[in-house]
Amino acid sequence: MSNIFELFDKIGSKSPEPTGKITHLVVGLGNPGDKYAFTRHNAGFLSLDFITQKLGVKADKIKFKSLCGEATISGKRTLLMKPQTFMNLSGEAVREAADFYKIPPENILVICDDVNFDVGILRIRRKGSDGGQNGVKNIIMQLGSDEFPRIKVGVGKKPSPEYDMKDFVLSKFNDAEQKALFSTLENIYNSVTLILDNKIDDAMSHYSKGKK
């Protein structure tokens, strides 16, 4: 099948220009470069691409070691970020932006992959440990806090215990998995709008399959 993410071009609507002070960050995690574009580890990037298309904005300005865009989400002026540091150093970009805009951890929403769930299953958490996700681990280290919400996107489980985790997260989604992921992107967008509207409990109730 053709790349389903080409459908992004059909879902956008132009949003009003954001005004006022940036008070929130929405960060999609992944690795930069075409070779990683549709790998499991880039579920955060793919989610952010969908969100920017929905909002009719682009994350294409280089700031804070990231590709960035701005939008108003649930009345909050928000910086949308795709760190270009590679996954394990994602926290450097997040910390720079948070320091510049004086944004507290609770106003930083991170979207990342989760290898503990089937493709497309979401787990929304208010705060907590990194759960083995190295990008989240680095963000916690750089911020000195784990008090930030996150949307963890299921990207499937290793086919066997012996399978190398690095090889797995850097593998590409097959056609069926792309469909499963695309079908949940609307739920990710809706979750973002609820969380930025201070309704994370509603987001968890409606969209989170794992509330651990």
pLDDT tens digits, 149-192: 999 999 999 989 889 999 999 999 999 999 999 999 999 999 99
Sorted by where each starts, the structural domains of the chain and their CATH numbers stand as 17-207 (3.40.50.1470)
Alpha carbons within 13 A on the beta-carbon side of 78: 29
Q: Is the dihedral of CA 135, 83, 126, 147 positive or negative?
A: positive
Q: How does residue 9 score in pLDDT terms, banded at 50, 70 and 90?
A: low
Dig out the tokens for 20 from the structure: 């006022």
Q: In this structure, are residues 57 and 15 in contact, taking their beta carbons and an 8 Å threshold?
A: yes
Q: Which residues are tagged catalytic?
A: 41
Mean pLDDT computed over 83-112: 98
State residue 42's pLDDT score.
97
| 16, pLDDT greater than 90 | no
Q: What is the largest CA-CA distance in the chain?
A: 51
Distance in angstroms (rounded) separating the CA atoms of residues 70 and 58:
8
Q: In this structure, are residues 152 and 131 in contact, taking their beta carbons and an 8 Å threshold?
A: yes
Question: Nearest-CA neighbor of 150 among 192, 190, 110?
Answer: 110
Relative to beta strand 76-83, strand 66-73 is antiparallel
Distance in angstroms (rounded) separating the CA atoms of residues 153 and 29:
11
State residue 20's pLDDT score.
83
Q: For 38-55, write each residue's pLDDT tens digit.
A: 999 999 999 999 999 999
- The predicted model scores a pTM of 0.90
State residue 18's pLDDT score.
62
